[in-house]
Amino acid sequence: MKVIDINNLTKIYNGSEVMVKAVNNISLSFEQGEFAAIVGPSGSGKTTLLNMIGGLDKPTEGEILVGGTNIGGLSASKLIDFRLKNIGFVFQAYNLIPVLTAKENVEFIMELQGKSRLERDERSIALLSAVGLGERVNARPAKLSGGQQQRVAVARALASKPKFVLADEPTANLDSKSTETLLDIMEELNKKENITFIFSTHDQRVVNKARRVITVEDGCVVSDEKRN
Partner 1 sequence: MIWNISWKNVWRNRSRSIVVICAVTLGTISGVFVAGLMKGWVDQRIHSAIHTEVSHIKIQNPEYLNNEELKHTVPNYNKIEAYLNNSPEIKAWTKHTKIIAMASTSRGNTALAIKGINPEEEKAISDVYTKIVDNGGDYFESGFKNPIVISEKTADQLRLINYIISQELLDSLSRLGADENLVNSLNQVKDQRFITEKKFKAELELILKPSEIKEFGANIMKLAKNYKIRSKVRFTFTDMDGEMVQKSFRVCGIYKTTNTMFDQMNAFIRTDDIAELAGFQNSDCHEIMIILNNEKDENVKLFRDNLKSKFGETNVMSWKELAPDAGMMADFMSMYYYMIMGVIFFALAFGIINTMLMAVLERIKELGMLMAVGMNKKRVFNMIMLETIFLTIVGSIAGMILGGSLIGIFGKVGMNFASVQEGFEAFGWSAMVYPNIEISFFFGVTLMVIVVAIFSSIIPARKALKLNPVEALRTE
Q: Which residues bind partner 1 (CB under 8 A)?
A: 51, 54, 56-57, 77, 80-81, 83-85, 89, 91, 93, 95, 97-100, 104, 107-109, 111-113, 156, 160
Nearest to 147 by CA among 125, 180, 115, 123: 180
- Nearest distance from C-beta of residue 201 to partner 1, angstroms: 17
Alpha helices in 75-174 (DSSP H): 76-86, 102-112, 117-130, 146-159
- Provide, rounded to whole angstroms, the least separation between the CB of residue 14 and partner 1: 15
Least distance between partner 1 and beta carbon 68 (Å): 20
Amino acid at 58: K
CA separation, residue 38 to residues 24, 109, 110, 134, 225 (Å)? 15, 26, 28, 31, 10
Q: Which residue lies nearer to partner 1 by CB, 124 or 148?
A: 124
| Closest approach of partner 1 to the CB of residue 185, in Å | 19
Closer residue to partner 1, CB minimum distance, 141 or 209:
141
Amino acid at residue number 150: Q
CB of residue 34 vs partner 1: minimum separation in angstroms?
21
Q: Cβ closer to partner 1: 46 or 209? A: 46
Q: Which is nearer to partner 1, 111 or 225 (CB)?
A: 111
Nearer to partner 1, 100 or 207 (CB): 100
Min CB(83)–partner 1 separation in Å: 5
Could you give the CA distance from residue 214 to residue 35 in angstroms, rounded to a whole number?
11
Q: What is the spatial distance between Cα 150 and Cα 130, in angstroms, rounded to a whole number?
A: 13
> Burial code of 199-224, b = ≥16 C-beta within 10 A, e = fewer?
bbbbbeebeebbbbbbbbeebebeee
Helix (H, G, I), strand (E, B) or coil at 10: strand
Pick the closer one to partner 1 by CB: 25 or 95: 95
